[in-house]
Amino acid sequence: MNYLEEAVGSIAESIRFDSSLQKKLRGAPFGKGAADCLEHFLSLAEKLGFETKNYEGYAGEVLFGEGEEFAVLCHLDVVPAGSGWEKDPFGGIVEDGKIWGRGAMDDKGPAVCVLYAMKALKDEGFVPKKRIKLIVGCNEEDGWACIEHYNEVAHMPKTGFSPDADFPVIYAEKGILHVRLHFPVIEPPFLRMQGGTGANMVCDLCEAVPRVFDEKRAQSLGLACEGRKLVSRGKSAHGSTPEKGVNAILPVLKYFEGESEAVRKIVAYLFDDAFGLKKLSDETGPLTLSPNKIVYRKGELQVICDIRYPATMSANAVHEKLRKMGVPYETLHHQKPLLVEKNDPLVTTLLGVYERCTGKKAEPVAIGGGTYARALAHGVAFGPEMEGDEAVIHQPNEYITVERVKLLLEIYREAIRELTK
């Protein structure tokens, strides 16, 4: 049994929990939505006959087999819905051969597919020679406190994979650096400025209230005028692929560029790359820089940037460039790169599974995204996106197709079989 119908229904159910970061509650460190989503997932696993553990709402795990530990790391939390949706972001609507909603691809859909793949193996009498730990966290999008807690109260396997990126298999992930830069503003030409919802999401909405309103200038920059407020609407995208989005912050800055040195610096330093951060590059690709949040507060413009730096480089190379700007900044979040040899057995085994299930020859790839794979001493990312897919992760109208669910059930079943037999 491939459990396609059941998996589709369970993914839809999971999407209906708004598991974005919310107010901390007792037993719900990341908010009620995330805690309820975790409980739903673990309850489903128990109904399917698996042993489960809930680690105080931070993370949970589903257990299968005995022996050396092997991890499959997923997450149930999501980024905020953002704007521009044509479907209910938390409706879990199944329509037009797609399951719609925040988390469908990132990462509730793949998590549910792994669970049902394990169930299919169990049904056929497969006995893994390793203890499979399907670990589901609830804070992957906002700091990894879930993994920190798990490491304190449980044992993290050394090896495994995370179905939270791309096929065919990810052998390298760039380093991730989130920084907040402080640009002092003297006599600001605006009363208010604010934009962005997540450090790792391209800003899709930025607003400002100018001291001097120039409707003609606003319209030339594509800004909407709502009363005396300027409104810029862009297109969200994952922070690791800013080129797939349209940053709403830039048109607002352009409006004030001629009236403020601080604004000119932000445009030059962060958008025009005056200090050459984007020139840092290696085989895993160039550095990406995405200014995703901005706010005017206490006499300064504060800008939070998402930086993904090449996997063979040190964060020191990035900090050296940042220091040359002469702008005070602080590090909010840092994850070191992941790098596994292309001929490593973990990589070649998963590549072989992908090729057999899809009939496509492929090579391992590197990405700018960061997955739970780097929480392992020896881990890689494996799916669910494929070349040619519409970019939907961290964007409005996120979905996963029923056909992709069907393929994931097959691929993850065979991957787990091959790696734990």
What residues act catalytically? 77, 140
Residues 6+ apart with CB under 8 A from 194: 206, 207, 208, 294, 295, 296
Residue type, 358: T
Q: Which two tokens stand for residue 222?
A: 């594509």
Helices 108-123, 32-47: axis angle to 10 degrees equals 10
Q: Where are the beta strands (DSSP E) in 126-187?
A: 130-137, 159-162, 165-166, 170-173, 175-184
Residue 10 and residue 12: Cα distance in Å, rounded?
5
Helix (H) or strand (E) holding 218: helix 215-220
What does 219-245 look like in DSSP terms, one character per residue?
A: HHTT-EEETTEEEEE-B--BTT-GGGS
Looking up tokens 């992941």 gives 338
Alpha carbon 353 to chain centroid, angstroms: 25
Residue 324 and residue 322: Cα distance in Å, rounded?
5
| Residues 277, 318 contacting (CB under 8 angstroms) | yes
Q: Which two tokens stand for residue 203?
A: 């800003």
Residue 421 and residue 38: Cα distance in Å, rounded?
28
- The angle formed by the CA atoms of residues 305, 307 and 313, to the nearest 5 degrees, is 150
| Residues 213, 281 contacting (CB under 8 angstroms) | no
